[in-house]
Amino acid sequence: MIAGPGCSSVGYGAASELGPLRVSRFAAGLEFNKFAWNKEANLLFLESPVGVGFSYTNTSSDLTSLSDDFVAEDAYNFLVNWFKRFPQYKDREFYISGESYAGHYVPQLADLVYERNKDRKANTYINFKGFIVGNPITDDYYDSKGLAEYAWSHAVVSDELYDQIKKVCDFRASNWTDDCDKAMSTIFRQYHEIDIYNIYAPKCNLAQTSVSSSADEALKYSDHEPFRRRIRMFSGYDECYSSYAQKYFNKADVQIALHANLNGMHPGKWQVCSDSILRSYNFSVVSVLPIYAKLIKAGLRVWLYSGDADGRVPVIGSRYCVEALALPIKTQWQPWYLNQQVAGRFVEYHGMTMVTIRGAGHLVPLNKPAEGLTLIDTFLLGKQLPTHR
């Protein structure tokens, strides 16, 4: 499980979403997660890129070289060495999952594994079968277009602003005009009083954490930094859960138990998201859709799921991305069910499945844990989601 640039997959995925143990309210301790994904598979959480969470590097230049290519190579080397250390897992089926900006990390790592696997006799061979991504950043054009359209269609912004955006924004351009920057900044200001990552959920009213301040920073407009880079940041559904994780992982006894922060190798405060990593990251890949096309053709299992209450990486943009692949439809768009209720919708293509989760925000396993568990179970088994109540 991989998170987004500058953010911890342990702080989010493991401790807040789908791990076997979750940080309890007010960071009082840990509690069992009855919807943990390790009920369906062995889980491995990877802190990526280096520098997030408790991860560190002995090569300081690494922290100024962060990019999608760097992260993919780094993650691949980690996997190869992990399987060498734990060879008992080498023949197991292996899948990669992630959310948000991991919509870039996951397919690019999948592509690297696929290419290096062509030499089946190599001792680096990984029994890789496919990947699944949630509310993923995928393609700059479709994601930006979807963000604006979602804000308008969900009554966050006015008709006038949306009309202005359609006039002044060319989302296919590598650099937006000042007029487009200003119009898009207006969208983000409208989200200030609500949670862009889960637009119908309450917003946490505890004292601001570094997570919430990072989110606020992403909403600001500055002439000194490209707006498109800032709005790519990953924060997540914030009804105080992230502040609990941050408080918990900064406890001295917790860090000792985790063998973290030893000998000063990771100095400073543990953060759910690192502003410094976000600021230094080189965002150079505009689309991973060509990788989708390649790996689908190769026969790998590929799923994309989307919580439909996420305004940051909304379902509209993801639908545009999937439709752009022009895959033949296998099973038409239809509802799927859990506990006799519509849990979302899905469409099966020849080579790929897209799923929505009704009422979930950016972090599906946190917002809709039962639906998330059903989703990953169905994916791993290669089955179809329930189509009857």
- Quote the pLDDT of residue 260: 81
- Per-residue pLDDT 10s for the chain (389 aa) are 656 666 778 877 888 889 999 888 888 889 999 999 999 999 999 988 888 888 888 777 777 788 899 899 999 999 999 999 999 999 999 999 999 999 999 999 999 999 999 987 788 999 999 999 999 999 999 999 999 999 999 999 999 999 999 999 999 998 999 999 999 999 999 999 898 999 999 887 765 443 443 334 333 333 333 334 433 333 334 367 778 888 898 898 888 888 886 555 555 678 887 777 888 888 889 999 999 999 999 999 999 999 999 999 999 999 999 999 999 999 999 999 999 999 999 999 999 999 999 999 999 999 999 999 999 999 999 999 999 99
Please say if 306 is a catalytic residue. no
Q: Helix/strand/coil (H, E, C) string of the chain?
A: CECCCCECCHHHHHHHHHCCEEECHHHCCEEECCCCHHHCCCCCCCCCCCCCCCCCCCCHHHHHCCEHHHHHHHHHHHHHHHHHHCHHHCCCCEEEEEECCHHHHHHHHHHHHHHHCCCCCCCCCCCEEEEEEECCCCEHHHHHHHHHHHHHHCCCCCHHHHHHHHHHCCCCCCCCCHHHHHHHHHHHHHCCCCCCCCCCCCCCCCCCCHHHHHHHHHHCCCCCCCHHHHCCCCCCCCCCHHHHHHHHHCCHHHHHHCCCCHHHCCCCCCCCECHHHHHHCECCCCECHHHHHHHHHCCCEEEEEEECCCCCCCHHHHHHHHHHCCCCEEEEEEEEEECCEEEEEEEEECCEEEEEECCCCCCHHHHCHHHHHHHHHHHHHCCCCCCCC
Please say if 65 is a catalytic residue. no
Query: Could you say which of 9, 100, 214, 306 is catalytic?
Result: 100
Please say if 163 is a catalytic residue. no
Query: Could you say which of 55, 140, 242, 362 is catalytic?
Result: 362
Query: Could you say which of 212, 274, 310, 318 is catalytic?
Result: 310
